[in-house]
Amino acid sequence: MLNLERLRTLDALARHGSVSGAAEGLHVTTSAVSQQLAKLEREVGQRLLARNGRGVRLTDAGRLLADHAARILSQVEVAQSDIEAHRGRVVGEVRISAFPTAARGLLPAAIRALHESHPELRVRSRELEPEAGIRGVVRGDLDLGVVLDWSNKRLPVPGGLATAHLLDDAADVAMPVDHPLAGRAEVDLEEFADDDWVSWPEGEFCHDWLMFTLRSKGFEPRITHLAGEYHTQLALIAAGLGVCVAPRLGRGVVPEGVAVVPVRQKMHRHIHAVWRTDADRRPSIRAAVEVLVETARAVDGG
């Protein structure tokens, strides 16, 4: 009989494309992945992997079994959801990711509320950018992801995922206090066409959004500094090194030397929870989503 954990290891290799990627996704060592796959090859009596340069690739038999493994594991997920739903108790473990400002401004309060209302539920969290969070949920490495998109640039959500809206997060422009526009009640983005800009790292969804948005205002932004953390971005602004877009969720205390001014044409991030539809009936998933919605409502109201 095929061993389920070995099938899970093969599925992880197929999804991640490498032994190291599978090990990271499964939270085990590369040696453990290799041992499980070697045992699976002995179990089926066929080679499932072949060398491919310094890595490995699936053989025809490996791809065939990996396809079956994906379907088997999906059915196991459904069975787990059904049995949890039948039992009706919120127990076990739920794995959640959130992008940085939600990991700071939303997740801690939500996890605390989950611990208080469902003490038998273990919560594991990690900080991930939206695209990485969605990939983790699709692959089954995560149960829930807190992700974002913008009012003028949507984040594609693959089929097989359910979503729940959490809140709309307004964004302002942060600038040095001695900036000519710092005393204004509202500003327009095009008024900063000649300024240096601080942005998120290249390749991140929010960096792409910023470039798209500023170009739509008729100018090519001069990006001089890249920083993933808002606190770092605001420190650069405080030093007089440019301007940036500053969403409100998780912002915390604005440092001295920084002025934050609303934008006339409002900019909003739409913040969502995503999870696999085949896990929809799990009480732990439903409980986590409900708490996230309640926590977001409290944060939004504050």
Q: Which of 63, 85, 107 is the last residue of a domain?
A: 85
For the chain, the domain total comes to 3
191 and 262 fall within a common domain: yes
CB burial of residue 167 (10 Å; 0-12, 13-18, 19+): buried
- Measured CA to CA, the distance from residue 143 to residue 238 in angstroms comes to 39
From first to last of the 302 residues of the chain, give the pLDDT tens digit.
Answer: 788 888 888 888 888 888 888 887 776 788 888 888 889 888 888 888 888 777 888 888 888 988 888 888 777 777 776 666 556 677 788 999 999 999 999 999 999 999 999 998 999 999 999 988 998 888 788 999 999 999 888 888 888 899 999 999 999 999 999 999 999 999 999 999 999 999 999 989 999 999 999 999 999 999 999 998 888 999 999 999 999 999 999 888 899 999 999 999 888 999 999 998 888 778 889 999 999 999 999 987 54
Identify the CATH number of the domain in which residue 55 sits.
1.10.10.10
CATH number at residue 142: 3.40.190.10
212 shares a domain with 257: yes
Residues 182, 260 within the same domain: yes
Q: Are residues 101 and 148 in the same domain?
A: yes
- 53 and 180 inside one domain: no
Residues 136 and 175 reside in one and the same domain: no
Please indicate, yes or no, whether residues 16 and 134 belong to a single structural domain of this protein.
Answer: no
What residues make up the domain containing 130? Answer: 93-162+271-301
Same structural domain for residues 233 and 295?
no
The answer on 172 and 265 residing in a single domain is yes
Tokens of 81: 């959801």
Together in a domain, 24 and 97: no
Same domain, 200 and 259: yes
**How far apart are the C-alpha atoms of 214 and 225, rounded to whole Å?**
16
